[in-house]
Structure 1
C-alpha cells in the first residue's frame, strides 16, 4: 500500500510539472503545462520603461520570464523573472552570515523605496534562510503596488560555479499561497549542467578577504526582486499577439 501511495504522489508531481524550458545559461526549469515563457523583448521593454522612472538606479536586466497562460497580456501575475549573474563563485559560507545578508537586503530595499515611493510602498523582506542541501538562499518580499494591491514574492538565489541565478516569483497576496509551493518546487528541481553545478569546498566557511562583495551583490538582487514586482503598472508593455495554443 505504501508503494502505491508513493507512486501516486510521484505521478502527481510529474504531471503537474509538464513543461521544461531550456535556457542559454546551462540550466533548465520545469513548470506546469499551463505556464508559458515570456518573450525576451517584452522583458527588455519592461526594464527600459522602469529604468526611465528611476534613472539614478542601475538598470535591472531580466534574462528569462514565465507566467501562467491565462491572461491576454504579458507580465501578469503570477509570473517568474530570472536574473543570471555570472559575478564569480560565491562561497556558501557568505550566505550563512544573516546579519550581513540582511544589511545588503536593507540597503537595496531603502534605495528602491526612495526611488519608487510614488508607485510602491511598504516593501519588506521576510525570513532569510540558506538551504545548504540545494545551495539556495531563500527569502520572501512583500509590497503594495499601485493598481495591483499587495504583491508577494518568493526569492531564490541559487549558487553556481559561475555566480548566482536569482529567481523572483510573484503573485498577488490573495493567490500567493497557491503558487508559492509551485515556485519552490521548480527552483529546487532545476536541471543544472554539471559544469556550473555548485561544488562545496572546504574553504567556503573561511573568512573572505577581497574577492566578490556579496553584500553588494545581494543589495542589487533585492532591488531587482522588488522592481520586478511592479509589473502591474506596465500592463500595457506587451499584449500577447496570440495565445500559446492558437
Structure 2
C-alpha cells in the first residue's frame, strides 16, 4: 500500500471510495471529474485517493501557517515499483478555482510582475525555496496560459514544473505537473498532453461574447 512522507513522518493511505470514473484506451484513460470536465491520464498513472490528498494538504498547511491553505481537487501520480509512497515525483495536481470568469483581455495580458510574483510566493509553503516563475505564454487558439516553475524541496532537491491555466465559465482550472529537474524534459510531453486533453462540458466551457451571440443566432 502506498504511503506519503512529509518531514520524515509517514502517513498510511486509507482506502477511499472514488466517485470519479475512468475509461481506458490503449495508452491513456479518460478521467471524468465531478466539476464538469474530463482529462486523459497515461494508463500507468493513478489517482491519489482524496483522503490521502487531504491528509497531505493538512500536513503542509500545518507546517506553513503563514500561507494560504491549499487543498487540491485531484492529484495523479505515476504508478511504478519505485514509487512506493504517495506524492512521489512525478505527479500532477489539478485545482478548480471558482473565482469568477476571466475576460479575453485579462488572459491576453496575463503576466508575471513583481507584485503578482510576490503574491504567488506568499502562497507557497515556507519550506519550498528559490522559487522561479517564467513569463506566461498565452495560446489564444487553445485558450491556455502556460508557465514553467522551479523550486527547491527539502531532502529532494530542485523540482521543475509546468503549470497551465484554463479559463472556464466560473473561473479557471489549473493543471500543474511536477518532477525532479533532471527528469523534466522526459515528462514535459506528458504534462502538455494532459492539459491539451482537457474537455469541458457545455456548461463549464469558456465562451466569449462572440460565441454566446452565435449560440443565440443559430437555430
The TM tier, using the shorter chain, reads 0.7 to 0.9
Matched, 1:155 2:155: no
Matched, 1:55 2:52: no
Who is 2:17 aligned against?
Answer: none
Measured after TM superposition, the shift of residue 15 of structure 1 is: 3.9
Who is 2:20 aligned against?
Answer: none
Measured after TM superposition, the shift of residue 110 of structure 1 is: 3.6
User: Which has a greater percent of strand?
Assistant: 2
Q: Is the contact between residue 73 and residue 94 of structure 2 (CA under 8 Å) also seen in structure 1?
A: yes
- Partners in 1 of 2:59 and 2:129 — Cα distance? 19
Matched, 1:134 2:146: no
Give the TM-score taking structure 2 as reference length.
0.78
Unaligned 5+ segments in structure 1 are 1-13, 203-246
Unaligned 5+ segments in structure 2 are 1-24, 211-219
Residues 64-213 of structure 1: pairs in structure 2 closer than 5 A: 64-70=74-80, 71-99=83-111, 101-103=112-114, 105-112=116-123, 116=126, 119-201=127-209
**CA displacement, residues 12-33 of structure 1 (integer Å, 9 cap, x when unaligned):** xx743x2111111011110111
Measured after TM superposition, the shift of residue 150 of structure 1 is: 0.7
- Partners in 1 of 2:87 and 2:38 — Cα distance? 20
Measured after TM superposition, the shift of residue 145 of structure 1 is: 1.0
User: Which has a greater percent of helix?
Assistant: 1
- Partners in 1 of 2:121 and 2:204 — Cα distance? 33
- Higher RCO, Cα 8 Å, sep 6+: 1
SS in 2 for 1:175: helix
Measured after TM superposition, the shift of residue 95 of structure 1 is: 2.0
Q: Is the contact between residue 150 and residue 173 of structure 1 (CA under 8 Å) also seen in structure 2?
A: yes
Measured after TM superposition, the shift of residue 112 of structure 1 is: 4.8
Q: CA RMSD in A?
A: 1.7
Matched, 1:43 2:41: no
**CA displacement, residues 169-213 of structure 1 (integer Å, 9 cap, x when unaligned):** 1010111111111111111121211111111226xxxxxxxxxxx
Q: Is the contact between residue 109 and residue 123 of structure 1 (CA under 8 Å) also seen in structure 2?
A: no
Measured after TM superposition, the shift of residue 104 of structure 1 is: 5.2
SS in 2 for 1:88: coil
- Partners in 1 of 2:122 and 2:199 — Cα distance? 34
Q: Is the contact between residue 109 and residue 124 of structure 1 (CA under 8 Å) also seen in structure 2?
A: no
